[in-house]
C-alpha cells in the first residue's frame, strides 16, 4: 500500500471515530429486493456527515436527490443528483450532504435477511478485503 492510501485510510477512520462521539442523527434506511438484487437507500438530512462502510464487491451507487461532497481514496468531488457510478471493492467514503440527499447502493444478492446481507457485503477492515482478493487470485 502506498503512503497516500495509508494516509487516507488512517484519516477516514479517525473521522469515523470522532464522528461517533458527536450527537447522532437518525438516518432513514429503506431496503428493496428484486430478483437477485438488493438496494439500500438512505435519506441524509442537509448538513449531515456519514462515513460509509467498506464494501466487499463492486456495486452501483445512485444519488437520486440532493448534492453531496464525497471524499474517497481516489478523489474529493461534489456530486449532484441525478448521478450514478460503479463503486469498486474496498471503497470507503465520507459523505457530506449540502441538501437532503437520497443515496442508494445496489448489490447483486439473493439474500433478504439484513444481518446476513451485512456479512455478505461489508468488510470489517481493509485487511479483510486484501485477504479475500488474494484468495480469489490463487
Look up the CATH number of the domain holding residue 113. 2.60.120.10
Whether the per-residue pLDDT at 83 is higher than 80: the answer is yes
At 5, give phi and psi (nearest 5°). -65, -45
pLDDT score at 138: 52
pLDDT band at 7 (very low <50, low <70, confident <90, very high): confident
pTM of the model: 0.80
Look up residue 23 and give its DSSP letter: P
Q: Give the domain range for residue 34.
A: 3-137
75/55 Cα distance (integer angstroms): 18
Q: How many domains does the chain have?
A: 1
pLDDT score at 117: 95
Count of CB atoms situated within 10 Å of the CB of 12:
19
Amino acid at each position: 500500500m502506498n503512503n497516500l492510501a495509508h494516509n487516507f485510510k488512517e484519516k477516514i477512520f479517525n473521522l469515523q471515530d470522532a464522528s461517533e462521539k458527536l450527537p447522532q442523527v437518525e438516518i432513514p434506511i429503506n431496503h428493496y429486493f428484486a430478483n437477485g438484487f438488493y438496494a439500500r437507500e438512505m435519506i441524509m438530512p442537509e448538513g449531515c456527515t456519514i462515513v460509509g462502510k467498506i464494501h466487499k464487491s463492486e456495486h452501483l451507487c445512485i444519488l437520486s436527490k440532493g448534492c453531496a461532497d464525497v471524499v474517497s481514496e481516489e478523489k474529493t468531488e461534489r456530486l449532484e443528483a441525478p448521478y450514478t457510478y460503479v463503486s469498486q471493492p474496498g471503497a470507503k467514503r465520507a459523505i457530506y450532504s449540502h441538501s437532503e440527499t437520497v443515496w442508494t447502493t445496489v448489490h447483486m444478492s439473493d439474500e433478504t435477511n439484513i444481518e446476513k446481507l451485512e456479512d455478505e457485503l461489508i468488510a470489517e477492515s481493509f485487511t479483510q478485503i486484501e485477504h479475500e482478493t488474494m484468495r480469489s487470485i490463487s
